[in-house]
Amino acid sequence: GKGKNTGGCDPALAGKKIFVGALPKNITDEAVKSHFSQFGNVTDVSLRYGPDGSFRGFGFVSFENVEAAQAVFANYENNRIDGKWIDCKTASQQNSESGGSDGPRKPLANVPPPTGPFLRLRGMPFSAAPLDIVAFLGGFTLVRIVIGANQSGQPSGEALVEFSDQSECERAFNEKQGSSMGHRYIELFGATPEDIAKVMPLQTWSVGEGGMDSSAYGAMDAAHIPRPGPY
């Protein structure tokens, strides 16, 4: 019989990060992470969205080690999510083909600006804590942060942030759209109090009425700011 087809990918060239294409259009970060966890520890999932917020059908998955990525390529013909075959390549190979699709994304052109003091952040690292969001929004006056969880209680990669007022929220929306948190490019959307009420909170953090300039947090006692895990 024929040898294993690795799609023109030399597994020896694999880094820890892979490109994943031909994904189902309703896929979630969690479903991608769940599928690829069979090969090794997934450290990051970054799905790509168009200017209108619609999923573009591809993304990137990072593993803790190179062996996991090599295992994905060895399984090339059998990589399926929900019965649909998905195309896996080395990230460097895909970048050269697509002109660096993992670079900074343009601000989302057609996303309407916020109509109140709330923003939704999408595409955060799964490990993001309130303090990371505070750092990301340095210089803006924040009142409350809610990091969302999915049905199984794992981080959803989304958070809702309440600012001191709508103008502060709009300023953050305009200045931080597409900025990076760690190595993730964050997408911002206007949100409502109803959105916050619907979120299953993984971690919440607030400074009370009036808010506080996030650049002042560094001087605070870190014990006031919740971190995940036993500290």
- Residue (of 151, 50, 60) closest to 107 by Cα position: 50
With a cut of 60, say whether residue 58 has pLDDT above it.
yes
Collapsing DSSP to helix, strand or coil, 191 comes out as strand
pLDDT tens, 130-189? 989 998 998 899 999 999 998 888 889 999 999 999 999 999 998 888 788 877 888 899
Fold topology of 13-90: Alpha-Beta Plaits (3.30.70)
Domain boundaries, the chain: 13-90, 118-219
Q: State residue 110's pLDDT score.
A: 65
Choose the CATH number for 118-219 among 3.40.1160.10, 3.40.50.720, 3.10.290.10, 3.30.70.330: 3.30.70.330
pTM flag (> 0.75): no
Asked whether the beta carbons of 159 and 147 are under 8 A apart, the reply is: yes
Provide CB contacts within 8 A for 206, sequence distance 6+: 143, 144, 145, 162
CATH topology agreement for domains 13-90 and 118-219: yes
Q: Where are the alpha helices (DSSP H) in 90-165?
A: 91-98, 130-136
CA 180 to chain centre: 10
